[in-house]
Amino acid sequence: MKFLLDFFPLVFFFIAYKLQGIYVGTAVLMAATALQMLVVYWMDKKLSAMHKATLALVLVFGALTLALQDERFIKWKPTVLYAGMALTLAAALWGFGRNFLQMMLGSQLALPENVWRKLCLGWVAYCLFMAALNGYVALFFSTDAWASFKLWGFVFPLIFIVGQGFYVARYLETNVETKDTPA
């Protein structure tokens, strides 16, 4: 159920975009994301840091999209966000010795330090890949083609997250086994 909940704002955006255009689609995305967060809050009685960040980004950049009314801004926005996320994660890790992924998820996942480092590096590489891919589509394709790419492009994060799940699962099983083993 939660998996479907994660994708319903994107589906509503695409339907509204196809029926009424990019600006109505953006307003629908903003409303659907706010509704999504209300449902998540109703179910979990809290919002994670990731949920709060998602809601803030969608509302702020959605408002900018509606105010600026510029298709170039719409298409390049994900490239800037992905690149910014990659730079932030990399600068925190290499410049300040801080792992933002571990800081955000460390209370939910007990993983060795080297695994957290590899996860962070994986996120940096993934974000750079997605920034470059979105930039390519934004530069060389129409807004219609870009919107279709955004809808069907969910395959990339899905593959990445499932891959990370398999990677992390090996270490979680090890942690579970060691906890159950008598001393």
Q: Are residues 60 and 138 in the same domain?
A: no
- Of 68, 96, 117, the residue at which a domain comes to its end is 68
| Burial per residue of 50-85, b for 16 or more beta-carbon CB atoms within 10 angstroms, e otherwise | ebeebbeebbebbeebeeeeeeeebbbbbbebbbeb
pTM given for the model = 0.76
- Of 40, 68, 96, the residue at which a domain comes to its end is 68
pLDDT tens sequence for the chain (183 residues)? 565 677 788 889 889 988 998 899 999 999 999 999 999 899 889 888 778 888 998 999 999 999 999 888 889 988 998 999 999 999 999 999 999 888 887 777 888 899 999 999 999 999 999 999 999 999 999 988 988 888 788 788 889 989 998 998 888 865 544 444 444
Q: Are residues 15 and 93 in the same domain?
A: no
Q: Are residues 35 and 54 in the same domain?
A: yes
Two tokens at 49? 């840091």
Q: Are residues 40 and 103 in the same domain?
A: no
Q: How many helices (H) and strands (E) does the chain have?
A: 9, 0
Q: Are residues 94 and 58 in the same domain?
A: no
Q: Are residues 33 and 8 in the same domain?
A: yes
Q: Are residues 42 and 77 in the same domain?
A: no
User: How many structural domains comprise the chain?
Assistant: 2
Q: Are residues 129 and 179 in the same domain?
A: yes
| Backbone angles phi and psi of 151, in degrees to 5 | -70, -50
- Of 48, 68, 88, the residue at which a domain comes to its end is 68
Q: Are residues 36 and 81 in the same domain?
A: no
Q: Are residues 157 and 86 in the same domain?
A: yes
Provide the domain limits for residue 60. 1-68
